[in-house]
Chain A
């Protein structure tokens, strides 16, 4: 920028033209702003259209006051007698998330073989992928709604909802791994005269397991968030109590329930995050030690992939 500075030409020229000339000489030209304007206008039009919905705006004014009152009622005098029940309901949510993840993994692996373009004809892979896409798009809670008549009220329906809902994301990851398998170890195993099982055990599993395990753990974290609310529709876990306390305004218990959910989520995230870091970074790997307190400490590639791909199945990604 400082390269082409020239002597001010003539003292007598008036100030504005001086400034103009300096500007001309030193400043890079501003990029055209057409795109920015188009985006701004589109966003504003969309916003206006959205806000034209049938909304009772007067209620919005009451919200901050209500919010303050509710927060005060929630945390001023929590009803500790509800804690044991809440903790066991939270554990049920965690257990549901775990089983859901296990079931999803069991189904995702064989399905992923049907979606790998290097193993099956193109159209089979395409169809299987569309199944994954559909499963990814449906929120677990909707699955729970349609599963309850089948599996009855309670955790069974919730587990199946989480399991089926996670097949999409886990399956997608699995076929990506399968398509990216390194042939080297497999050829090496073949060269030693390994049997099919041995080849699988020594050449394929070690390549697949770390990434799969790490991603399944990540999915477990996502599923905990989902399973904490499945109870809202009657599919087991802490969501049922939570919905009941909030809808009937039992605030001194609802506050406690919220705290339990938030703390349990953060705790499981932290533990699971450490395990994932250990899996990806290895025993002496330092992983991500930037100390910025991010719970998601995958390596950059993994993170980039997670953040730019639609991973979440709906309720609470991230």
Chain B
């Protein structure tokens, strides 16, 4: 803040005082960081020391075993993961459209409905994917089904949020036009609102699919099916070369899917 100002000459404007907000943010930053370091016991020395030590994970990476893909069970798990992501996106995404519509002034018939739907959306959004998986595993047992259900709710959360943001900015002209023709509520939404958001909505679905694919890799860690099940299997057996093999292969696939999806999304929007 105190820049080099040895002598104030006439032509020089006064330096503005540091903004109170800036100072407050600086203090907040320092305090939060200090408190966090204290309460988590984080230490840089520890990190560096740990990195220098021999460990299973890094030596597993160095001996990475890409041939895991040839195991039938792993292959099946890969396919399962894709299936979970596809179904989660389609069902969750389909449910997200009415939920997003009902959370806006245009789409909801009454304020009560709007607030109820918003409260529902907020709660669904606040629960992370893996937590949904834990809950569904407790409800329906381990397997693909809890993973599928978790991804449905996760997709509802993501797509509803993104879509309702777009709905806030739509052009109300067509809506008025539809009202002027005496269109019924649903007809109005279908003809005046949905066409406006359809490109963005489709793009969100593709994006959601990418997220689901990545998420489906972790759901298996808690028993909810998919490739995570294999990661967990090899991890608990201490077979790190295989763990790394699956991770690298899986993320090579998601990487390709992401590139493709971005390509499609560029064309949509």
Contacts and interface: CB of A to CB of B under 8 A. Distances in A.
Interface of A: 43, 46-47, 49-57, 59-60, 62-63, 66-67, 70, 91-92, 94-96, 98-99, 102, 133-134, 137-139, 141-142, 145-152, 154-156, 159-160, 198, 201-202, 213, 225-226, 228-229, 232-233, 236, 242-243, 246-247, 249, 258, 261-262, 265-266, 275, 278, 283, 290, 292-294, 296, 300, 303, 307-308, 310, 312, 314-318
13 contacts: A53-B144, A59-B145, A91-B39, A98-B33, A102-B33, A148-B57, A150-B57, A152-B50, A275-B25, A293-B118, A294-B164, A310-B262, A318-B157
B179 interface: no
B138 A95 contact: no
A290 to B, nearest CB: 7
Given A50-B83, A141-B218, A142-B231, A225 B128 contact: yes
B215 interface: yes
Given A149-B57, A150-B55, A67 B139 contact: yes
B148 interface: yes
Contacts of A133: 255, 258
Looking at B41, B83, B168, B254, the one whose CB has the most chain A CB atoms below 10 A away is B83
A137 B214 contact: yes
Interface in B166-190: 166, 168-169
Contact of A318 (B148, B162, B258): B162
Contacts, number: 231
Contacts of B19: 283
B140 interface: yes
B217 interface: yes
B143 A307 contact: no
B102 to A, nearest CB: 14
A62 B144 CA distance: 15
Interface in B108-140: 118, 122-123, 125-131, 134-140
A308 to B, nearest CB: 6
Contacts of A307: 162, 165-166, 204
Nearest to A147: B57
A232 B243 contact: no
B46 A156 contact: yes
B157 A232 contact: no
Contact of B144 (A54, A293, A296, A314): A54
Nearest to B145: A55
B80 A308 contact: no
Contacts of A247: 134, 137-138, 222
A95 B33 CA distance: 8
B7 interface: no
A70 B137 CA distance: 12
Contact of A63 (B61, B149, B161): B149
Interface of B: 3-4, 19, 21, 25, 32-33, 35-37, 39-43, 46-47, 50-51, 53, 55-58, 61, 79-80, 82-84, 86-87, 90-91, 118, 122-123, 125-131, 134-141, 143-145, 148-149, 154, 157-158, 161-162, 164-166, 168-169, 200, 203-204, 207, 210-211, 214-215, 217-218, 221-222, 231, 235, 240, 243-244, 247, 251, 254-255, 258, 262, 265, 269
A95 B40 contact: yes
Given A145-B221, A146-B247, A56 B39 contact: no
Given A198-B3, A283-B19, A70 B221 contact: no
Contacts of A265: 126
Given A155-B41, A156-B47, A308 B57 contact: no
Contacts of B32: 98
Contacts of A59: 140-141, 143, 145
Nearest to B203: A308
Nearest to B265: A308
Contact of A55 (B51, B55, B143, B217): B143
A179 B219 CA distance: 38
Contacts of A229: 128, 130-131
Contacts of B254: 137
B135 A246 contact: yes
Given A159-B40, A198-B3, A228-B128, A137 B140 contact: no
Given A47-B86, A53-B84, 13 more contacts: A59-B140, A63-B136, A63-B149, A102-B33, A134-B251, A141-B221, A142-B218, A154-B41, A155-B42, A156-B46, A258-B127, A262-B123, A315-B130
A242 B218 contact: no
Contact of B42 (A147, A159, A315): A159
A303 B167 CA distance: 13
Given A92-B39, A141-B130, A293-B118, A310 B165 contact: no
Contacts of A242: 131, 134
A145 B127 contact: no
